[in-house]
A and B are shown apart, each in its own frame.
Chain A
Amino acid sequence: MTMRKSVVLAVVMSFVLGLCSALLAETTVNAKVDRTEISEGESVQFTIEIKGDASSLPALNLGQLPDWQVYSSGTSSNFSWINGRTEQSKQYNFILSPTRTGRLNIPAFRLTIDGKSYDTPQLSVMVNPVAMPQSRNVPPTSGRQRAQTSQQQQLSRDDLLLRCTVNRDTVYVNQQVTLSMKFYYRVRLLANPEPRIPQRTGFWAEDLGQWRSDQETLNGRDYNMAELRTALFPTAPGTQTIGSAEMNVVVDDGSSNDPFSFFNQGFPGYGGGRRLTLKSDPVKITTLPLPEAGKPGDFGGAVGQYQMTALVDKNKIEVNEPLTLHIKISGTGNIKSVGIPKVPDLPDFRTYQAGDDEKVEKVNYQVGGTKTFDQVFIPKRAGSYLLPSLRFSFFDPQARMYKTVTSEQIQVDVAPSKDRYASQVQNVQTNRIDLTAKDIRYLKTSLGELRSRRSAPISASPWFLIVMYMLPVLGYVAVLTRQRHKERLLSDVGFRRLRQARKLADSRLAKAKSLLDAADADSFYSEINRSLIDYFADRYNLPGFGLTADKIREYAVGKQSDVLVGQLLDLLQQCDFGRFAPGGSEKTQMTHLWESAKRLIVELEKTR
Chain B
Amino acid sequence: MTDYRSIKPITKNIVSLNAPAIEVTKTLGGYPLYISDTKPIGVIQIELFWGKGSFHQKQAFQSSLAGDLIFAGTKKRKEVEIVQFFDCLGASHHTDSLFMGSSIILRCVKKHYEKVFSWLLENASEACYPEQGVVSAISVQSAALERQQQTPKYWASRKSMETLYGPNHPLTRYGNTDDYQKIDSTCLFDYRREHLPISDCMLFLSGDIDKEIIAKTDTIMAHYPGGSFSVPKFQDCLSLPGDNTVVQHKVSNTNQVSLQMVAHVSPKNQKEKHQLTLLNMCLGGYFGSKLMQVLREEKGLTYGVSSYFQPAFRDFTWTISGEFTSANTQESFETIDMIFRDLRDTVIPLENLNKIKQYYAGQFRSGFDGPFGMSSKVQHLLYENLDMDYFETVLPSIWAISPKDLNTLANNYLHKESFIHVLAGDT
Is B one of A's binding partners?
Answer: no
Which B positions have Cβ atoms within 8 angstroms of A? none
Which A positions have Cβ atoms within 8 angstroms of B? none
